[in-house]
Structure 1
């Protein structure tokens, strides 16, 4: 009991420090709509990256990915490591468009390209996904993680169901306070501080685990996991693995691009950047952070397999067991604070983004076009409060999910990720595709996705014999074809052009392309390390091909880095500058015509 009291007190101490600092930094800065929803468009690259990282990392990943590594191998790291490709596209392609138009929400961006009907369709998709699945799942996974790690039902003498309800409400109320009363800046600051702590404690766990595995010697621990059952370190998934390697080049590209490039609760941090350069820094830095995720969220699962064998049931006990058995007691409060911080981050980010979309895309766009900043902030707070309370009641019901939390999130996200990324990409790279094409795609996707995943097996006993990731790729191709066909049959009378309304400096970061080359190279290196020629080599620590492959990669990286520094950088900066200036000129001409008219 004394250890529990110490854990709770130290946890509250660390959480209190973060809360006080966040309050001081945001005091009197959330009185305008930009200040509340977009942090006054003043976020720097470090805060953007820290907030993006912690928004993405959650207890469900911490527990779930380690469980997957414990039971199978490292193939699920594809979701994390290849996110670097998506943040590169966000930084170099999408962000100049978003910031150039000073958009506050993704539906607002789509409204400018298509019409308000598309905006409403997309808002409905987001709200249903956030309200019924994503927000409740974050609360539920956080509650389960705390219960597994600290056995609160046993310590408090209550049932698991009662403990889940208590933890959901506790986590939800604290997280909602950040999002509803502090706005995006409070969320971003607390995310960054929690992110630093999570990285520190997250890296501590595998280090302690390897020392224990090596009987006190860290290097012996590394030798053990690379020579005994080395197949556990293989990230190149086979057809029988949950994530076959081929899926990286099909549906995963678009699913990750949706998440990092168009998902409101992720991109809202970059929309609050103080400049294009800072937004690009934050996005690209996030890609480097994601390369650490296998060390934080999968290697402990492999260590657990070596320490405890393959008998842990359920597999999600792998990470809690390591933490409970190996983490020093004096770090327990700090660990709990960082774990809760990760849960708070995902929850309050979702809540803040849902409130932002309601204020801009429903209230101001359709109910009160003349709404003042004060009215929008007040309405968003009321909506956030109602949505939070709803999620408190929905979250505990996920205990009854027949196929587990991981599958629910994965399957239900499929209802809106592919149609949204399809609409965004086609909207950016074409000029005559009409709004009706986007609306058809949304309706088609919801119906076809339901039948492919649930309808055919339920009503006809037909199972689709390929990964759901490949199914997503097929739907992306079909839906792109639908939109292009709509553009051929009913093209817009006039070509669509984007208009500039930038509120920040649009000069790109001068090192964006050189840093992109390094990030791309490190993604490939991660797969070389966790492959049959690297740490998963069955004949020793690594194969004879490993170092030549790494050497060739370093040589190519050096060549492309110099090329990016000497010529590609200038061409990219010229392209961004020219594109933006053309948009500015079109905007001035439109305003002049409106004044004359």
Structure 2
């Protein structure tokens, strides 16, 4: 380990200084919280620039930095689809059509919407499943950070996850959601500073001649078939699976993302958040995907450990002090993801499960103590969940499996509730359970090689579409043929159109044009 640290020179001091600053931010954010709501949420309390950066930074964790660089090394330029198809359309849809329904009804979370639209049982089911997803994603963040430390510094996996978890638990425990958001601001600039030099140096390798299979990996749509389960990716899986089901479902219903957006002070600010963050996503696509594409030239044996692509690229292309900065950037991105999910779990558990079901009508100090306990519990459970990632070849395959089994059927019943008054709580619950069960069974059949796909990612995309379809059909058929009286104000109506101003439409149009240009550029 000493040899691994010594090669960084003075650059190794970036990492401990970063850790101290994050804990200092947590200490400065510490205040005498009087209610659990102040500790766990920051609804309508923060200015727009801070919310935009926090919204973007909370998404730039293990899924973004380590996972998508691994995807680029594995699938080539197809990794851009996670931005251009899996993110931008969903962010525009959220701003123009979904946010007005939330804001018009004073709803600040997806479980709260499930409560108002369907009932308490659906809210509890949604909260419990989402809390489990948060723990699994936290485990992914810890695993990714430990892998980074193993490659760059040489410390063991166990010590890596303990170091990361210790720093995060200090500042989240002290400052709650405010400490998490303000740390995300600091982490955002650290991430950009650490990754931008690598992306600039990697661009050079994209123009070098190479084998035909490497050159083919630089195309986004060229040669992709419309429906081909045996291909690495096909048009149906990318557009319907990644784009509509997983992408729209994530950006429109993810608890962490919505928690950040609702922190904006006004309705107009909240609707701007995903649009401005969309431009940031396009910028981040270059920071993350380009080094992964360059790895096809620089690291000929990348296939052994795709999740180690980015730290290995840093060891090759960075000077010692830049390696220290790059390591700190990776730590910042992964700790940001971990902190976001830990604080989200604490809010879900305390507000949507414990307060509403297990222990009602207690004073706020009691729920505040439970919030602190939930932060500690979430961190400890995440340590255990991190070991599950050894079962998967790369992080993105694990992440998309989680979303295809749990998020896809929830998006189906959520969207059905927006579109029709007929769907009731019983139909929604049964629809979710059937869709989720089918997706899980489908994944087992694929893992046993009884069903064959061109890649695990294609299997996940197709599974998400099938789970969504089954959940929607079952929820519709198992609901009575009568209207739900309370559903009218929770659906798209003239309020959505009347509350969309020209400025929002212009922002959305510019973002869509930029997305189309990226598609053409990498065709």
**Contact 1:71–1:310 (CA under 8 A) maintained in structure 2:** no
1:152 is aligned to 2:154: yes
Partners in 2 of 1:242 and 1:198 — Cα distance? Answer: 30
Partner of 2:518: 526
**Which secondary structure state, in structure 2, belongs to the residue aligned with residue 498 of structure 1?**
helix
How big is the shift at 1:225? 6.8
**Which secondary structure state, in structure 2, belongs to the residue aligned with residue 188 of structure 1?**
helix
Taking a change above 3 Å as real, the CA distance of residues 372 and 100 of structure 1, as seen in their structure-2 partners, is: farther
1:410-436 CA distances to partner (integer Å, 9 max, x unpaired)?
A: 223322111211121111222232111
1:540-597 CA distances to partner (integer Å, 9 max, x unpaired)?
A: xxxxxxxxxxxxxxxxxxxxxxxxxxxxxxxxxxxxxxxxxxxxxxxxxxxxxxxxxx
1:6 is aligned to 2:4: no
1:263 is aligned to 2:274: no
How big is the shift at 1:325? 2.0
1:220-272 CA distances to partner (integer Å, 9 max, x unpaired)?
A: x5643799954232112454653323323212212111211111122111122
Taking a change above 3 Å as real, the CA distance of residues 364 and 385 of structure 1, as seen in their structure-2 partners, is: same
2:201 corresponds, among 197, 208, 219, to 208
1:187 is aligned to 2:187: no
Partner of 2:442: 452
Taking a change above 3 Å as real, the CA distance of residues 413 and 494 of structure 1, as seen in their structure-2 partners, is: closer
Taking a change above 3 Å as real, the CA distance of residues 5 and 380 of structure 1, as seen in their structure-2 partners, is: farther
2:485 corresponds, among 489, 494, 501, to 494
Partner of 1:101: 105
1:313-365 CA distances to partner (integer Å, 9 max, x unpaired)?
A: 43444322321122132233332222111111111111111111111111221
2:507 corresponds, among 501, 515, 518, to 515
1:388 is aligned to 2:379: yes
How big is the shift at 1:528? 0.4
How big is the shift at 1:456? 7.4
Partners in 2 of 1:46 and 1:300 — Cα distance? Answer: 28
Partners in 1 of 2:209 and 2:267 — Cα distance? Answer: 43
How big is the shift at 1:111? 0.6
Counting only pairs closer than 5 Å after superposition, residues 430-469 of structure 1 correspond to structure 2 as: 430-455=420-445, 458=448, 461-463=450-452, 467-469=459-461
**Contact 2:73–2:293 (CA under 8 A) maintained in structure 1:** yes
Report the TM-score when normalising by structure 1.
0.77
Partners in 1 of 2:285 and 2:331 — Cα distance? Answer: 20
How big is the shift at 1:120? 1.4
How big is the shift at 1:14? 3.2
Partner of 1:559: none
1:69 is aligned to 2:72: yes
Partner of 1:224: 208
Partner of 2:133: 129
How big is the shift at 1:438? 0.4
Partners in 2 of 1:382 and 1:317 — Cα distance? Answer: 34
Could you list the runs of 5+ residues in structure 2 that have no partner in the other structure?
Answer: 492-497
Partners in 2 of 1:346 and 1:455 — Cα distance? Answer: 31
RMSD: 2.9
How big is the shift at 1:309? 4.1
Could you list the runs of 5+ residues in structure 1 that have no partner in the other structure?
Answer: 154-162, 214-220, 501-505, 532-597
Partners in 1 of 2:149 and 2:444 — Cα distance? Answer: 32
Partner of 1:539: none
**Contact 2:409–2:432 (CA under 8 A) maintained in structure 1:** yes
Which structure would you say has the larger Rg? Answer: 1
> Could you tell which deviates more after superposition, 316-325 or 432-441?
316-325
Taking a change above 3 Å as real, the CA distance of residues 101 and 146 of structure 1, as seen in their structure-2 partners, is: farther
Partner of 2:462: 470
1:4-42 CA distances to partner (integer Å, 9 max, x unpaired)?
A: 463342222234334434543x34374434422222521
Partners in 2 of 1:90 and 1:72 — Cα distance? Answer: 28
Counting only pairs closer than 5 Å after superposition, residues 283-298 of structure 1 correspond to structure 2 as: 283-298=274-289
How big is the shift at 1:88? 1.1
Taking a change above 3 Å as real, the CA distance of residues 169 and 93 of structure 1, as seen in their structure-2 partners, is: same
Partner of 2:93: 89
1:449-471 CA distances to partner (integer Å, 9 max, x unpaired)?
A: 1222214774x934478743133
Taking a change above 3 Å as real, the CA distance of residues 29 and 102 of structure 1, as seen in their structure-2 partners, is: farther
Counting only pairs closer than 5 Å after superposition, residues 266-281 of structure 1 correspond to structure 2 as: 266-281=257-272
1:360-410 CA distances to partner (integer Å, 9 max, x unpaired)?
A: 1112212333233322221111122122112223323533x1545443332
Partners in 2 of 1:397 and 1:223 — Cα distance? Answer: 38
Partner of 1:51: 54
1:331 is aligned to 2:334: no
How big is the shift at 1:530? 0.5
**Contact 1:67–1:316 (CA under 8 A) maintained in structure 2:** yes
How big is the shift at 1:2? 4.3
Partner of 1:546: none
Taking a change above 3 Å as real, the CA distance of residues 250 and 35 of structure 1, as seen in their structure-2 partners, is: same
**Contact 2:256–2:344 (CA under 8 A) maintained in structure 1:** yes
**Which secondary structure state, in structure 1, belongs to the residue aligned with residue 31 of structure 2?**
coil
**Contact 1:43–1:273 (CA under 8 A) maintained in structure 2:** yes
1:153-181 CA distances to partner (integer Å, 9 max, x unpaired)?
A: 4xxxxxxxxx1111111111211223232
Taking a change above 3 Å as real, the CA distance of residues 493 and 282 of structure 1, as seen in their structure-2 partners, is: closer
**Contact 1:98–1:271 (CA under 8 A) maintained in structure 2:** no
**Which secondary structure state, in structure 2, belongs to the residue aligned with residue 74 of structure 1?**
helix
**Which secondary structure state, in structure 2, belongs to the residue aligned with residue 205 of structure 1?**
helix
**Which secondary structure state, in structure 2, belongs to the residue aligned with residue 41 of structure 1?**
coil
Taking a change above 3 Å as real, the CA distance of residues 81 and 436 of structure 1, as seen in their structure-2 partners, is: same
Partners in 1 of 2:501 and 2:192 — Cα distance? Answer: 26
Taking a change above 3 Å as real, the CA distance of residues 478 and 499 of structure 1, as seen in their structure-2 partners, is: closer
Counting only pairs closer than 5 Å after superposition, residues 566-577 of structure 1 correspond to structure 2 as: none
Partners in 1 of 2:111 and 2:474 — Cα distance? Answer: 20
Partners in 2 of 1:167 and 1:509 — Cα distance? Answer: 48
Partners in 2 of 1:222 and 1:311 — Cα distance? Answer: 16
Partners in 1 of 2:354 and 2:304 — Cα distance? Answer: 48
Partners in 2 of 1:59 and 1:128 — Cα distance? Answer: 17
> Could you tell which deviates more after superposition, 351-360 or 222-231?
222-231
